[in-house]
Amino acid sequence: MPNPVLREEINQLHAHICSGLADPIRIVILYTLAQQSHTVNELVDALGVPQPTVSRHLRHLRDRGLVEASREGQYVRYTLKDSRVIEALDILRAVMHDYLQERVSLIGNHGETKT
């Protein structure tokens, strides 16, 4: 059983970071912001997602400390707060890639049908 400190860290990780990453649109927003900062309207154009959806996801990401917002006149510009989030996502994508490659290999070896 993990020690209490580790358990609390895992609970905090899940509550803040993991819940922020629990939606594919939010992950795409993070990757987009990793390239450069954007306003909501710029993200709407870049992602092809409705403005209310983008705003809702940005609020979720901001509440979890994954993005920062700064006012520029009448616009709010969003920036990725910590690039290590992208590094972590890249590692998770590599794990998923390896898993899928393994599955394809297993299907190739066992999925042959006799004709």
Distance (Å, rounded) from C-alpha 32 to C-alpha 24? 12
β-bridge mates for residue 53, sequence order:
none
Task: Give the DSSP H or E segment for 60.
Answer: helix 51-63
The fold adopted by the segment(s) 4-81 is Arc Repressor Mutant, subunit A (1.10.10)
State percent of the chain over pLDDT 90: 77
Domain boundaries, the chain: 4-81
Q: How confident is the model at residue 111 (pLDDT cuts 50, 70, 90)?
A: low
Count the alpha carbons within 13 Å of 84 in the hemisphere toward its beta carbon: 3
pLDDT digits (tens, 9 = 90+) for 16-34: 899 999 999 999 999 999 9
Q: Name the CA radius of gyration of the chain, rounded.
A: 19
> Longest Cα pair distance anywhere in the chain, in angstroms?
69
Query: What is the sign, positive or negative, of the torsion defined by CA atoms of 27, 28, 29, 34?
Result: positive
Asked whether the predicted pLDDT for residue 101 surpasses 80, the reply is: yes
